[in-house]
């Protein structure tokens, strides 16, 4: 395991660097990648970027003005990638060249020898801020905005339990360096298309409760996107909704992907751990938020398996004397 200083030394010695984000990209993987790319470019490095899925429209501002080259990379760096399976076809294309992984998931599964992982960080963007400082890169307003986007999106606008004093200090620092926090938060949390509103309505109408109301589940089949015109990125926030209901300990969101596979997003209140629950299906994440996949399973099959797992997990917590509220 590398330290921040060791990761910085490697990057300073490399040329022709490609940065990878995980598939189904969110604000943290993209904001972290964009900030790192800008920092490396400022050092005179030739840089490139790849993600198995297109960058959602609402995140495209992160890369504005960034000159990305097309070249055969000598070194590949992943950011915010907890497992090789999250890279999609990027692993097939560049797996042999991944020489550094930067991640903030405690459940990180190593896929390269050199990695810098801090599982107690609220967002990968925290690590990128520290890394740029270690490399001696002056953070300009564009980098500051990229980092702030990663912080605010991966912490639910600083509401999640993963947030630490350091998270707030870094947020304050990048605001002083030019990040437009008000506008970024408006774009991320206070701006919705009519299609998104309609899609959220359809999803919430189908919410079901089980385990005596301590678990809530919503499902997002492909027809929701087809009927409303909403995009997958517009429904990122749906995952947080089930847990927001009073009395709910575990909130589950099942989404049908374009290829027919099913992905689960789990949100959990203490004393439970979403990462522990998702680990039962080969997934992972954080205590409050985690995910897993159900390859080869239908939505109905995934729902049955997740309900059974939730029931068993709550029973485990009760057997341990945990108070569930």
Confidence of residue 325 (pLDDT cuts 50, 70, 90): low
Query: In the beta sheet, which residues pair with residue 219?
Result: 254
**In this structure, what token pair is assigned to residue 206?**
């189908």
172 — phi, psi (to 5°)? -65, -40
Report the share of the chain in percent with pLDDT over 90. Answer: 92
What pTM did the predictor assign? 0.92
What is the per-residue pLDDT for 259? 85
Q: Average the pLDDT over 308-312 and give the result.
A: 97
CA atoms of 51 and 49, how far apart (whole Å): 7
Q: Average the pLDDT over 17-31 and give the result.
A: 97
What is the per-residue pLDDT for 270? 85
pLDDT, mean over the chain: 95
Q: Cα angle at 259 between 239 and 203, to 5 degrees?
A: 30
**In this structure, what token pair is assigned to residue 58?**
């609402």
Q: What CA–CA distances, in Å, run from 53 to 75, 226, 231, 302?
A: 21, 19, 13, 23
Residue-wise pLDDT tens digits, 165-220? 999 999 999 999 999 999 999 999 999 999 999 999 999 999 999 999 999 999 99
Higher-confidence residue of 322 and 282: namely 282
What is the per-residue pLDDT for 97? 96
What is the per-residue pLDDT for 45? 97
What is the per-residue pLDDT for 69? 85
Confidence of residue 323 (pLDDT cuts 50, 70, 90): confident
CA atoms of 297 and 207, how far apart (whole Å): 20
Domain with residues 194-319, CATH architecture: Roll (3.10)
Residue-wise pLDDT tens digits, 38-65? 999 999 999 999 999 999 999 999 999 9
CATH code reported for the domain at 4-189:
3.90.1640.10
Fold matches, 4-189 and 194-319: no
Query: In the beta sheet, which residues pair with residue 254?
Result: 219, 264
- pLDDT of 298 above 80: yes
Half-sphere exposure of 115 (CA within 13 A, CB side): 23
Q: Contact, 14 vs 5, CB < 8 A?
A: no
Confidence of residue 227 (pLDDT cuts 50, 70, 90): very high
Q: Which sequence spans correspond to the domains of the chain?
A: 4-189, 194-319
């Amino acid at each position: 395991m590398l330290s921040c200083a060791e990761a910085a030394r490697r990057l300073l010695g490399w040329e022709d660097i490609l940065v990878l984000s995980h598939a189904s990209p969110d604000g943290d993987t993209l904001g972290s990648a964009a900030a790192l790319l800008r920092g490396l470019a400022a050092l005179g490095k030739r840089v490139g970027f790849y993600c198995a899925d297109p960058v959602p429209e609402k995140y495209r501002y992160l890369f504005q003005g960034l000159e990305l080259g097309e070249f055969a990379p000598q070194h590949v760096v992943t950011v915010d990638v907890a497992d090789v399976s999250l890279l999609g076809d990027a692993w097939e294309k560049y797996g042999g060249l991944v020489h550094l992984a930067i991640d903030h998931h405690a459940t990180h599964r190593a896929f390269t020898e050199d990695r810098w992982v801090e599982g107690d960080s609220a967002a990968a963007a925290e690590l990128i801020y520290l890394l740029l400082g270690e490399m001696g890169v002056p953070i300009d307003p564009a980098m500051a905005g990229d980092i702030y986007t990663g912080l605010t999106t991966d912490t639910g606008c600083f509401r999640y339990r993963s947030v630490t004093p350091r998270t707030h200090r870094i947020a304050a620092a990048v605001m002083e360096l030019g990040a437009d926090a008000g506008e970024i938060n408006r774009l991320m949390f206070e701006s919705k298309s009519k299609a998104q509103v309609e899609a959220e309505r359809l999803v919430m109408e189908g919410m079901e409760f089980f385990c005596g109301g301590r678990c809530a589940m919503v499902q997002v089949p492909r027809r929701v996107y087809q009927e409303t015109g909403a995009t997958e990125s517009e429904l990122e926030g749906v995952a947080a909704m089930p847990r927001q209901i009073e009395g709910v300990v575990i909130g589950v969101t099942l989404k049908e992907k374009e290829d027919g596979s099913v992905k689960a997003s789990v949100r959990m209140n203490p004393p439970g751990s979403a990462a522990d629950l998702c680990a039962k299906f080969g997934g992972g994440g954080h205590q409050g938020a985690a995910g897993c996949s159900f390859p080869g399973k239908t939505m109905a099959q995934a729902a049955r398996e997740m309900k059974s797992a939730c029931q068993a997990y709550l029973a485990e917590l009760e057997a341990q004397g945990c108070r569930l509220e």
